[in-house]
Structure 1
Amino acid sequence: MEEPPVEAWCFDLLLFYRSLGDDDPQAKKMLAELEAYERFSFVVNGLITCLLVSFGLIGNALFVYQLHNKSNHFSRRLAKHLTALCIWDIALLCCCLCSYGIICMCLGILPFVGVTAYLLYLFQPFASFCVTGTIWQVLAITIERHKAVSRPLEQRTRKGQFSLRSIFSCIVFGAFALNFLAVPFERALIDCYEFRSNGFEVRTMIVQRELVNNQYYAILSHLIPDLIFRAPTPIVIIAILTVRTLQIASAQRTVGHQQIIPQRQRALGRNVHLMLTFFSIKFIICNTLYLFNTILMEVMGYGGKTSSQQTELEMEQYISSLYLTDFSNMLLAIHSATNWLIFYKWPECKEKKVKRFATSLTLSASSRADWLRGSAPIDSTSAEQALNKFRELKK
């Protein structure tokens, strides 16, 4: 038999278990579980992801257009922060679409060979880069809102604020260093072979390096940075500052019983604080599973071994890790696709305005009718008596 041109075999679990036939009961069981996951992946990673990406891209584009053309609901500085947040969400949704959305719609299970290997090598770190950027962007918004409420006079001066360009640059460079610098040490693109009827075909496959399986490296390079820079530390800071901002804003609205902030300004500020509060809660819910999955897989090594010589327990852990990863990715996609709904200013319904106008006309007409019904004409005798009394008083 001809020797393979390279050492590595192109990893394909479905093909491996199908090649074992029906004689091996363990292989038959694993094949059934993989085929069930293939259907699940088509729905979640393929269909739902593509729908979420379409919805999120359209919504974020509409919100950015509203921020810069038709809305005075937010200050100019906050509008720029929200624009940056939309850019992070759009970038993350594009990563989801390019790295697994379209591929799972076509193939079901995400392969690790061919063009997909290059896409995963590029877009998976870029997706983590976008998640980190989103977290820090929300943290920057929350800090600025807190300072604007607690120190309003200082924040109105240029010296009391960092430039937006500096903030955005720090977020981009920090997120890049956190997510991209370790990629060459953790992943590699290697040549692998596939069996063909006329021999072998050499393709490209993405694999993890041995360094990733080192628990000390996983703790130092993933767990500790995630706890400090992704969750829960930034989330706790966001929650504390949001609650503190609401308390300060509530205390500043009144002095005794006298309102000192105009009604419209007070309503807008309160709405922004509530929006950011709801956004923080939504962010915590959608990112908790991602953090749990990171700890379980990268630190504890759950489901990390992917070879054709796995034991039954390791194979079950690997399939379970696929489900966990897909659910966490879906929650991140939901979060990025729906953030704009929190801040978008929906137009008032015209029918409500028409009904309000018709109601006012009806009330005014009924009040006039009541006034006319309450007034009675004066008879001639009463008018003559009133005129005589007026003449006597005039004399």
Structure 2
Amino acid sequence: MNSSSNCTYDFENDEEDFLAFQYVIEIGIIGPMCIFGLIGNALSFVILFRENGSSPTFFLLRTVAVADSLMLVTSLLMYVVPGLMHYFKMDSYSHYKAYTAVSIWPFAMMAQTSTIWMVLVVAIERYIAICWPTKARMLCTISHARKEVIGVTIFSVLFNIPRFFENYITEDGCSMKMSFDFTELYNNPNYRIFYTVVLYSLVNAVIPLITVSFININLTCSLRQASKARKNMGVPIKVLEKKSESSITLVLVLIVVVFIICQVPAMITHIWGEIIYHLAEHSTLMNYRYFAVFSNVMVILNSSLNFLIYCAVGKRFRKLLKVEFRKLCCRKYQYVPSHSFYMDKTELTTVSTKRLTCSHSKSCSSSEMEERKETLTHVLS
């Protein structure tokens, strides 16, 4: 009797500790991370569109920003909103929690799959552009990029449709509280082993991680070779073009590294949960639950970090970002489109001077004009 009583007491304490930990993580970390990620992805989308709207690479990176944003929105709905409802003791908490598991979770899985495969598509596009330059003009086009995005979207939706049939809503007749339970489909051992373990691991983990790792190694080697080759080049425009390509490739290499680090815990959690969860002892179950929260944070972090990568590596991205902020603050000059990068220095200076003309020219000093002209000239150099 004493042993049983102690076990119950320990279990209740562990449950309370875990719920407190989960609440702090969801409200204190996941919430701000999602807000920051949504703002960063929106800014990235705008800058990447202004930078070169017709580039297949930038088009795919914009699509990654959209997929990441969908992932962050579903994360807010699944983790942050229920936490706030529970904190404010809202009567609809149990209803919302049940509908989240049944209706929102499948969309979150679709967003996760699309995010993973969009990163893979961008990596393949960069690999072709850098390692197979003779085929790049034919394969790396905006039309091909659009088809790839459509294909990834359709695949992500179709692959995760079974998720809608894994849970159903139940209601307690006495307390009138709602919850969810597993359907017969999910309780079928064959379905769980084949779909939720094998197929999920292959589609969302093994194939993407192995592929992007291989591509990342080759791109890293190409970056080193390009760095050595630039030292022997004497034509300035070629140096600039090579440097621009290397900068884009470096951004992708870092995105892939972050992707691998953040997605591996999710793969471990999913396999662990499906194979061990219902067979393990209490201490192992609690370890799994804590690790599951950690893996959720890592997945959300992956969808929030690309903006910081662009800012850290992309010198031109930072300058364009400053231009956008200055436009929002004073609205006294207009953006020079990125095709001006291909103008000669005299033409660029002329265009920049015209577009930097203040709408209230009398209130702008000559020093301000020179400073703004110099800023835009450097952005495009």
Relative to the length of structure 2, the TM-score reads 0.72
- Write out per-residue CA displacement over residues 174-219 of structure 1, whole angstroms, 9 at most, x where no aligned residue: 11122122431x21122323xxxxxx23343211124434443322
Quote how far apart the aligned CAs of 1:246 are. Answer: 4.2
Of 74, 77, 95 in structure 2, the residue corresponding to residue 95 of structure 1 is: 74
5+ residue gaps, structure 2: 312-316, 324-366, 371-381
Check 1:148–1:137 CA distance in 2 against 1; reply closer, same or farther (3 A cut).
Answer: same
The answer to whether the 8 Å contact 1:154/1:160 transfers is no
Of 234, 237, 249 in structure 2, the residue corresponding to residue 273 of structure 1 is: 249
Once the two structures are superposed, the pairs formed by residues 174-323 of structure 1 within 5 Å of their partners are 174-184=155-165, 186-193=166-173, 200-248=174-222, 254=229, 257-258=232-233, 262-298=238-274, 300-302=275-277, 304=278, 314-323=281-290
Once the two structures are superposed, the pairs formed by residues 1-395 of structure 1 within 5 Å of their partners are 24-69=5-50, 71-72=51-52, 76-107=55-86, 113-157=94-138, 163-184=144-165, 186-193=166-173, 200-248=174-222, 254=229, 257-258=232-233, 262-298=238-274, 300-302=275-277, 304=278, 314-344=281-311, 345-347=317-319
2 CA distance for matches of 1:236 and 1:347? 35
2 CA distance for matches of 1:140 and 1:288? 19
Identity %: 22
The answer to whether the 8 Å contact 1:155/1:161 transfers is no
The answer to whether the 8 Å contact 1:45/1:105 transfers is no
Query: Which stretch of the first structure deviates more once superposed, 320-329 or 285-294?
Result: 320-329
2 CA distance for matches of 1:64 and 1:162? 19
1 CA distance for matches of 2:58 and 2:107? 25
Check 1:258–1:215 CA distance in 2 against 1; reply closer, same or farther (3 A cut).
Answer: same
SS at match of 1:202: coil
- Write out per-residue CA displacement over residues 223-260 of structure 1, whole angstroms, 9 at most, x where no aligned residue: 22223211122111112123224445655774995567
The answer to whether the 8 Å contact 2:59/2:142 transfers is no
State the AA in 2 paired with 1:347.
K
Query: Which stretch of the first structure deviates more once superposed, 139-148 or 260-269?
Result: 260-269
2 CA distance for matches of 1:239 and 1:30? 41
The answer to whether the 8 Å contact 1:114/1:205 transfers is yes
The answer to whether the 8 Å contact 1:149/1:249 transfers is no
2 CA distance for matches of 1:336 and 1:131? 9
The answer to whether the 8 Å contact 1:112/1:205 transfers is no
Quote how far apart the aligned CAs of 1:270 are. Answer: 1.1
Check 1:102–1:160 CA distance in 2 against 1; reply closer, same or farther (3 A cut).
Answer: closer
2 CA distance for matches of 1:202 and 1:256? 73
Aligned residues: 312
Check 1:208–1:314 CA distance in 2 against 1; reply closer, same or farther (3 A cut).
Answer: farther
2 CA distance for matches of 1:207 and 1:112? 17
- Write out per-residue CA displacement over residues 246-295 of structure 1, whole angstroms, 9 at most, x where no aligned residue: 44565577499556771211111111222111111111111111111111
The answer to whether the 8 Å contact 2:125/2:140 transfers is no
Quote how far apart the aligned CAs of 1:170 are. Answer: 0.9
2 CA distance for matches of 1:119 and 1:225? 24
State the AA in 2 paired with 1:86.
A
Check 1:97–1:255 CA distance in 2 against 1; reply closer, same or farther (3 A cut).
Answer: closer
Quote how far apart the aligned CAs of 1:152 are. Answer: 2.7
When the two chains are superposed, the root-mean-square deviation of aligned CA atoms in Å is: 3.2
The answer to whether the 8 Å contact 1:99/1:123 transfers is yes
The answer to whether the 8 Å contact 1:47/1:101 transfers is no
- Write out per-residue CA displacement over residues 90-128 of structure 1, whole angstroms, 9 at most, x where no aligned residue: 11111111111122244269x993121112212212112
State the AA in 2 paired with 1:87.
V
Larger Rg: 1
The answer to whether the 8 Å contact 1:191/1:205 transfers is yes
2 CA distance for matches of 1:159 and 1:333? 29
- Write out per-residue CA displacement over residues 35-73 of structure 1, whole angstroms, 9 at most, x where no aligned residue: 11121011102221111011111111111111223x35x
The answer to whether the 8 Å contact 2:123/2:215 transfers is yes
The answer to whether the 8 Å contact 1:112/1:206 transfers is no
Quote how far apart the aligned CAs of 1:320 are. Answer: 2.9
Quote how far apart the aligned CAs of 1:156 are. Answer: 2.1
Identify the residue that residue 367 of structure 1 maps to in structure 2: none
State the AA in 1 paired with 2:216.
T
State the AA in 2 paired with 1:237.
T
2 CA distance for matches of 1:160 and 1:80? 10
Identify the residue that residue 386 of structure 1 maps to in structure 2: none
Identify the residue that residue 365 of structure 1 maps to in structure 2: none
The answer to whether the 8 Å contact 1:46/1:103 transfers is no
